[in-house]
Amino acid sequence: MMDGKLLLVTNAAGLAAQNVIQRYKSLADIECDFKVLKSEVEIGPVYHRLPERIRAHASICFMALILHRVMRSRLKAADAGYTLERALEQL
């Protein structure tokens, strides 16, 4: 009876079913972003002790990720014929 069905269970009682599905689907984007941070942006493990340095490092990683996503979407929208990796090589 449940073949081919995906059940989503949540403890967020205030969310509508459509919002639960939307958030679940956005997990794929988040996973992709972590992959980009680890591979294409090439951040490695960095060990900080001071809170301001930890925040600064996280901010830089976040900005790099945002730039990556904006460049990818603009190249796609412009139908430039470049992949993001190729465009970064040219830069």
pTM (two decimals): 0.58
pLDDT score for 41: 67
Non-local (6+) Cβ contacts of 15 within 8 A are: 23
Instruction: Give the residue with greater pLDDT, 2 vs 69.
Output: 69
pLDDT tens for 13-53 read: 888 989 988 888 888 888 887 787 777 766 767 788 898 98
53-57, 75-79, 83-87: least confidently modelled range:
83-87
Q: Of the candidates 75, 60, 64, 58, which has an alpha carbon nearest to the alpha carbon of residue 33?
A: 64
